[in-house]
């Protein structure tokens, strides 16, 4: 029997999608162990899992656990979807920086929002890594929790053997680009590489046809397309980025600091707060429907975790995009950093593909991103509060005076005090 543990299963909407995908696959006998620290959300996740199993005509063994170690015991796969601090912490990540004039759209990957989301997640990841080492050391840890690069980098530094970070941005980018150029996705061949939420489409082809030529024609003919950050980046850097404009604007210094660019590129400041509100509404609707016995529509998500599990369990080979340590995979990004590359998956596990060197301009942009991630991870490993400030100093989109960066970090350390490691809960002058 294959055992899959969900850590943070109270993220019910995402849990539902993953379960819908899993229950569509031929995996043999399954045990689904759901863990969350919120009893109500855990009960809702269990009810949703049972409902989806009935709808799909499968009979997995489903268990719920408020205690994490019991969920992990003898697990073959661990899916991490925790969000430490939930909505209240996310609100702080936006409201406090806004007082210093810092604009954010998503705030979960880089920037001051990404740095502090990582710092409050790391203690949970450290405990998770220790539990995995003791009760399921051979399990594959499939991480969805952002900030992806920082979290996977930290987990590898802690010695977690089998970990890969998963994100749907490459897949959905290529779906969107295929539609934009009028070519069926099934006919497209592509290669992307870089870092999570900032990979680059290096090849975009149908047979011998370079589909970038079609994209250029579409962009030239449509002024509204040119009002997207990712299109603007493509026009200037020569390669299309694999994340939405809302995300992409936060990782570079050229957009969010300039009101005229915000208007030109229609950037929604604080967009993630709307997403949080929508997720809360979706959760409440799901909980109410399950309690009253109403149908709960759940669509497959095409996420990578179920595909990886299927390939490892059955030996079926497939390629996915994964976030893994850079062991020479991208030759002009720093060794040990977490990079996003295509990975072969089969019974042997997840096997990353070496891509070689990125175009120089793309690697340069990625290195700015990785500098912030590296210092954030180092702050946690060394328990060094100064490294937190240095990470924010180096962030491309945090363009405020350094004294204000110190004051901002002091405010956020205080606001997130209950989640941070004790040695990082200090103000610096």
Return the CA Rg of the chain.
21
Helix (H) or strand (E) holding 190: strand 189-195
Among 30, 184, 404, residue whose Cα is nearest residue 395: 404
- Residue whose token pair is 């977490």: 338
Catalytic residue among 65, 168, 197, 258: 168
Cβ contact 144:81 at 8 Å: yes
What does the pLDDT average to over 77-99? 95
Q: To which residue do tokens 């997403």 refer?
A: 275
pLDDT at 63: 97
Token pair recorded at residue 42: 């855990």
Mean local confidence (pLDDT), 203-224: 97
**pLDDT per residue as tens digits for the range 17-31:** 999 999 999 999 999
User: Which residues have a Cβ under 8 Å from the Cβ of 250 and sit 6 or more positions away?
Assistant: 104, 105, 106, 107, 109, 110, 111, 256, 397
| pLDDT value at residue 354 | 98
Q: What is the pLDDT of residue 282?
A: 85
| 84-to-7, 90, 153, 356, 420 alpha-carbon distances in Å | 12, 9, 18, 36, 11
| Res. 292: pLDDT tops 90 | no
Name the band, by pLDDT with cuts 50, 70 and 90, for residue 402.
very high
Q: Tell me, yes or no, if 197 is annotated catalytic.
A: no
CA distance 207 to 210: 8
Residue-level pLDDT at 12: 80
Residues 106-152 pLDDT 10s: 999 999 999 999 999 999 999 999 999 999 999 999 999 999 999 99
- Residue 170 CA to residue 82 CA, distance in Å, equals 22
Tokens representing residue 351 in the block: 């096997």
Look up the pTM and report it.
0.96
Q: Average of pLDDT values for 410-416?
A: 97
Domains of the chain: 2-165+298-309 (3.40.50.720)
Q: Mean per-residue pLDDT for 408-420?
A: 97
Give pLDDT, residue 266: 95
Given this model, what pLDDT does residue 267 score? Answer: 95
């Amino acid at each position: 029997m294959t055992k899959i543990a969900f850590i943070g299963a109270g993220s019910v909407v995402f849990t539902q999608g993953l379960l819908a995908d899993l229950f569509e696959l031929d995996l043999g006998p399954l045990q689904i162990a759901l863990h969350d620290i919120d009893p109500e959300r855990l009960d809702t996740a269990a009810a949703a899992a049972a409902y989806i199993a009935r709808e799909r005509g499968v009979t997995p063994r489903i268990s719920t656990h408020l205690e994490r170690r019991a969920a992990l015991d003898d697990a073959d796969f661990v899916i991490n979807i925790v969000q430490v601090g939930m909505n209240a912490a996310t609100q702080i990540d936006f409201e406090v920086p806004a007082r210093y004039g810092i604009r954010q759209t998503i705030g979960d990957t880089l920037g001051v929002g990404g740095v502090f989301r990582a710092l409050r997640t790391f203690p949970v990841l450290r405990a998770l890594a220790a539990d995995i080492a003791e009760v399921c050391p051979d399990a594959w840890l499939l991480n969805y929790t952002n900030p992806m690069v920082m979290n996977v980098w930290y987990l590898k530094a802690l010695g977690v053997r089998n970990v890969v970070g998963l994100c749907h941005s490459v897949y959905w980018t290529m779906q969107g680009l295929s539609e934009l150029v009028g070519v069926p996705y099934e006919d497209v061949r592509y290669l992307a590489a870089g870092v999570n939420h900032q990979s680059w489409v290096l090849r975009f082809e149908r047979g011998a046809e370079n589909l970038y030529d079609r994209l250029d024609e579409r962009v030239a003919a449509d002024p509204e397309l040119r009002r997207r950050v990712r299109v603007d980046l493509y026009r200037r850097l020569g390669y299309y980025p694999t994340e939405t404009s809302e995300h992409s604007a936060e990782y570079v210094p050229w957009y969010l600091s300039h009101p005229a660019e915000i208007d030109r590129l229609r950037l929604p400041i604080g967009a993630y707060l709307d997403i949080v509100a929508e997720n809360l509404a979706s959760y409440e609707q799901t909980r109410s429907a399950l309690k009253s016995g109403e149908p709960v529509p759940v669509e497959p998500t095409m996420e990578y975790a179920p595909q990886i599990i299927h390939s490892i369990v059955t030996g079926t080979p497939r390629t996915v995009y994964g976030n893994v340590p850079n062991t020479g995979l991208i030759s002009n990004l720093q060794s040990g950093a977490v990079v996003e590359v295509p990975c072969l998956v089969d019974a042997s596990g997840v096997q990353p593909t070496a891509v070689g060197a990125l175009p120089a301009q793309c690697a340069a942009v990625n290195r700015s991103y990785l500098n912030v991630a590296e210092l954030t991870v180092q702050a946690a490993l060394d328990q060094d509060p100064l490294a937190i400030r240095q990470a924010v100093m180096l962030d491309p989109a945090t363009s405020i005076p350094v004294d204000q960066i110190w004051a901002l970090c002091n405010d956020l350390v205080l606001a997130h005090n209950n989640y941070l490691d004790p040695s990082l809960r200090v103000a610096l002058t």
